[in-house]
Homo-oligomer: A and B are copies of this chain.
Amino acid sequence: MPVTLRDVAQRAGVSAMTVSRVVNGSGSVDAETQRRVEEAILALDYIPNRLARSLVSQQTRTIGLIVPDVVNPFFAPVVRGAETTARKAGYRVLLCNSEGDLRLEREYIEDLVAHRVEGLLLAPASDRSRVALLPLLKGRFPLVLLDRSLPDTDCDHVISDSVAGARRLVEHLIAVGHRRIAHFTESDDVSTGRDRLEGYRQALEAAHIPVSEDLIFRTTTDRIGGYRAAQLMLHLDPLPTAIFTVNNMTALGTMQALRERGLKVPEDIGLVCFDDVEHLAILSPFLTVVDQPGETFGTLGAQLLFERISGKAGNRSRRIVLQADLIVRQSCCANNGVPAR
């Protein structure tokens, strides 16, 4: 139903090829002919069919970007960074929300490949995302992993140093006097979760504080997960004096549960987490966090990807580890002393 090249050609009294040349500014066209063609294009509101174009040119100038949650304040800047970089390179981005769901993620991956995107940026839902990537890996499809790495998977990465970040966060808690520190983490099949748990252990061990499995709660990395973990934790006696949650949303849910119990942060219990909570610091400038440079994840990820796409990347896979910055605010009793338990 839409207007095609032929329609324009017919109206301008020329061949399809001439119209194509005018549209693409390729080849040379007589000035008068060009004028007639342009007139026809405008009159008919002709917009070239990219499907056909891509089919023949064998390039879509499109990349895919899959994240577990566009809405999460951490991923939002990642998306922005990737999109900006892609635009500058003349590429568009197909953005997909996997909702952390493996099946949905797999569907999106196939979908994007079916669309013949030239590369894929993926923040995988979990280690098990690997299965869906196997065919791509085998075919050396341009692929860059963001935020989370995959075991036994040799491909480009942009991640941050979760071990060091978590360690510093917990060291900070210890430095201000905490010794009974709970950790809310996710199931064992997400690299960031594993690494942050490792950082937690390292910090405790370095301070000769025994690591108690009773203080480690497995949960989902959303608000509900934080809420549930906190509820479980509240049964402990004595209560921990501080909590380290695996990410921002988990911290929010935790806050909610603590609030409902009448516990105040940081007076009654300390709270720190990974990922800053954009905007939130303005309303409640107290959560001490490890802030990851989201936009940089997107920017660098896209850059790596374009190097792959253009074949400039070589055979070895690159691994970029970004620094995660500690932002100390007041959520851990740094100023008021640790509650006695």
How many copies of this kind of chain does the complex include?
2
Chain B nearest CB, measured from A233 CB (Å): 17
Chain B nearest CB, measured from A259 CB (Å): 7
Give the distance in Å from the alpha carbon of A197 to the alpha carbon of B173 in the complex.
Answer: 48
Is the CB–CB distance between B51 and A60 below 8 Å? yes
Residue of B nearest to A249 (CB): B279
* Chain B CB within 8 A of A340 CB: no
* Chain B CB within 8 A of A2 CB: yes
Q: A283-B280, A284-B283 are in contact. Are A55 and B47 (CB under 8 A)?
A: no
**Residues of chain B lying within 8 A (CB to CB) of residue A73:** 71
Is the CB–CB distance between B45 and A55 below 8 Å? no
Give the distance in Å from the alpha carbon of A2 to the alpha carbon of B2 in the complex.
Answer: 29
Report A73-87 residues with CB < 8 Å from chain B CB: 73, 76-77, 79-80, 83
* Contact pick for A71, options B80, B259, B280, CB 8 Å: B80
Chain B nearest CB, measured from A321 CB (Å): 25
Q: A252-B282, A282-B259 are in contact. Are A114 and B80 (CB under 8 A)?
A: no
* Chain B CB within 8 A of A115 CB: yes
Binding site for B on A (CB under 8 A): 1-2, 45, 47-52, 54-55, 58, 60, 70-71, 73, 76-77, 79-80, 83, 92, 94-97, 110-111, 113-116, 135, 138-139, 223, 249, 252, 255-256, 259, 277-280, 282-284
